[in-house]
Structure 1
Amino acid sequence: MRLIALLRNAERPSPAWVAPFNQLLTGERGGVIVAEEDGRLLGAITYSFNIAIRYGGEYAQIEELIVDPAARGRSLGRLLVEAAIAAARTRGCAEIGLYGVNPDNVPFYARFGFEAVGPEVRLGLR
């Protein structure tokens, strides 16, 4: 599939993706929402649920958003993000965010009300 090929060319292609992806599929720690047409996968968004004291509970994080280049321009990205936001609201999350967003994509997310909040600091453990 074209989407799988795009993910394979992403930053960390690895069989290690299988276990986390399966956890998202259960809905316990997040979710996967797909856009299909006539049985053809056109796009997908994955999101995770996390917990933080500062929120007094859970928050959500968009992990991946991918739309097949041949299907772009049909508002699929918008529909997928709206669905992830709705899932986070339904879950009772205090916030939904994403990290490491491409600066060219900031205006896309701003349309939903996302705002840039400070620099990110990380330590890779693998």
Structure 2
Amino acid sequence: MSEPYIRTALPDDDEELGALDRATWSRLHAVVPKAQPPYAPFFDDKHVPGDFLVAELDRRIVGYIRLVPATSLVCNAHVRQIQGLAVGEAARGHGVGRALIRAAITEARRQGARRITLRVLGHNTPARKLYEAEGFAVEGVLPEEFLLDGEYVDDVLMGRSL
């Protein structure tokens, strides 16, 4: 498999990203119920194309990462937050997630950020290991923050300096 091509999402990516998002839905990372038809658009007022970097292989979108300001506060403008990372099943294990994280770090720096943060479910060991390998450290844990399928799951806060 070749290296993924990373680019900013375009409005025309809506349908393909929506399909990828539904295909990658899992209780390992999702706290909302699985989407059911009729499907809402992937992009909306709070989720605009410019917030997403997409990974392409052979001109097909195989992953995405969402990078946004952590809050709307001026005093927090130096922090970016990853709020979503997905990689299609066929592309997993080929460096797509790692390439997306690295691209998000580069983009956060380009935007003038000094820190990047994220939240990940405590039981999502593959994601946590990937983030740790890319320099993120656990900075806090909200114990039993979510009740998912009858199990309490921690919300793990991770971050790193840029």
Which TM-score applies when normalising by structure 1? 0.74
In structure 2, stretches of 5+ residues that fail to align are 1-15, 146-162
Letter in 2 for 1:93: A
Taking structure 1 as reference, are residues 38 and 53 closer, same or farther at Cα in structure 2, changes over 3 Å only? closer
Structure number with the bigger relative contact order (C-alpha 8 A, sep ≥ 6) is: 2
Indicate whether 1:115 and 2:132 are aligned.
Answer: no
CA distance in 1, matches of 2:41, 2:57: 29
Tell me how far 1:102 sits from its aligned partner.
Answer: 4.2
CA distance in 1, matches of 2:78, 2:84: 19
Higher helix share: 1
* Stretch of structure 1 that moved more, 111-120 or 73-82: 111-120
Indicate whether 1:76 and 2:96 are aligned.
Answer: yes
* Structure 2 partner of 1:65: 85
The 3-state SS of whatever aligns with 1:96 is: strand
Taking structure 1 as reference, are residues 96 and 54 closer, same or farther at Cα in structure 2, changes over 3 Å only? same
Which TM-score applies when normalising by structure 2? 0.59
In structure 1, stretches of 5+ residues that fail to align are none
Tell me how far 1:18 sits from its aligned partner.
Answer: 3.1
Indicate whether 1:34 and 2:54 are aligned.
Answer: yes
Letter in 2 for 1:32: F
Tell me how far 1:40 sits from its aligned partner.
Answer: 1.2
* Structure 1 partner of 2:40: 15
Question: Paired residues, what number?
Answer: 115
The 3-state SS of whatever aligns with 1:84 is: helix
Letter in 2 for 1:112: E
Taking structure 1 as reference, are residues 83 and 40 closer, same or farther at Cα in structure 2, changes over 3 Å only? same
CA distance in 2, matches of 1:32, 1:7: 16
Q: Deviations over 1:67-97 (max 9, x none)?
A: 1111111100000000000000111112101
Identity of aligned residues (%): 29
Tell me how far 1:47 sits from its aligned partner.
Answer: 1.2
Match for residue 46 of structure 1 among 48, 56, 66 = 66
CA distance in 1, matches of 2:142, 2:74: 18
CA distance in 2, matches of 1:53, 1:118: 23
CA distance in 1, matches of 2:102, 2:138: 18
Letter in 1 for 2:47: F
Runs of 4+ in 1 over 6 A off after TM superposition: none
RMSD: 2.7
